[in-house]
Amino acid sequence: MFARGSALVGNARDIVAADLDYCCAATRDELDRMAGARMLLTGGAGFLGYYLVQTLLEWNRRATPRERIALTVVDNYVRGVPGWLGDLNDEKLRLVQHDVTQPLPEDCAEFDYVIHAASIASPTFYRRNPIATMDANVNGLRLLLERSRRLHDAGRPVRGFLFFSSSEIYGDPEATAIPTPETYPGRVSSTGPRACYDESKRYGETLCVNFARHYGVPVTIARPFNNYGPGLKISDRRIIPDLARDLFAGCDLVLHSDGSPRRTFCYVADAVIGYFKILTRGRSGEAYNIGQQAPEVTMKELADLVADIGRELIGYSGRVVLEKSSDSEYLTDNPQRRCPEISKAQHELGFAPAVPLVDGLRRSLVWYSEHLTGQDA
């Protein structure tokens, strides 16, 4: 279904380099605050780790030796160390294979900042691994919070702790709660097929709030809304990589719904900027939505947009089709709308996402064109 002689414009390396420049420029003050610090990042081999790690190392390349951040990436590396991470060369980068549901090794148990991003986030995969999902979101988090509390009691307090929660904690909001503010309590099933993720993130937030209030741990909470972009494997089974997979296979773009659910999408570079701002500027015990407030598009509109960009980039000639999933629970508890109210992050943190959806999708598709196996990213 590709037009003969068609070609992509640009390449993945240039896109990532431009995004890292953007991230470093937009977080200059935040990275200055972390200069010379020791950072622990759990789950750093995953999607968000792709830009979190590389932004910190790009900062190190530009910083003086005393300003460089010592980064320890902890991951179980269940599928091995991804190529992008193994290829990074920085004396301040340390990779540790470790399961976060177990206490940290003593040689990496003291830190100034911690980001807990170790979690299965794709619905397809967390539904297959519900206990492991809950363990990372609750038990792994509890161990990190306890370690931070002990450092605080010993007079060596951490300076910042960021827990990655999820917009899924809101469930399926009423129309009157769209855009959804952080104060919305949520409508979430505790027994449905997605509950292992949704409810463990909710309980994780409760842990964070109480460790902040009762033990003085400076923990903050990020609630991501549909982040996408380079680093999100084409095999991840979320909507944008699924569309990219079909597009580059020359197939029709298949939606396993009626196309009416609505979402906003936040490009990963904008999101990562927001996460560093929460880590260094957020109020202890507080949660912040990180996403784009507009445009809110239907899944059919999103697929049509991907198809249009595919026609522009590679001469794609397929179409969007609606097809019922063979998984009877595929749409169970799937929210009809997901759109954040981001004024809290804007006013308190200076969060200002700037990458339009069409530009972010174009960058993503160029990146996917060079990462079609899902094994090297």
List the catalytic residue out of 50, 170, 184, 197: 197
Cα-based distances in Å from 143 to 72, 79, 150, 223, 285: 17, 24, 11, 21, 17
73-77, Cβ contacts within 8 angstroms, sequence gap of 24 or more: 73/41, 73/44, 73/45, 73/49, 74/40, 74/41, 74/42, 74/43, 74/44, 74/98, 74/100, 74/104, 74/108, 74/118, 75/42, 75/43, 75/44, 75/45, 75/46, 75/49, 75/118, 76/100, 76/118, 77/45
Q: Where are the alpha helices (DSSP H) in 129-261?
A: 130-134, 141-153, 195-215, 239-248
- Cβ atoms of 206 and 186 closer than 8 Å: no
Catalytic status, residue 77 = no
Question: Which strand ranges, in their side-by-side order, compose the sheet holding 219-224?
Answer: 93-97, 70-75, 38-42, 113-116, 160-164, 219-224, 287-290
Q: Where in the sequence numbering do the catalytic residues fall? A: 197
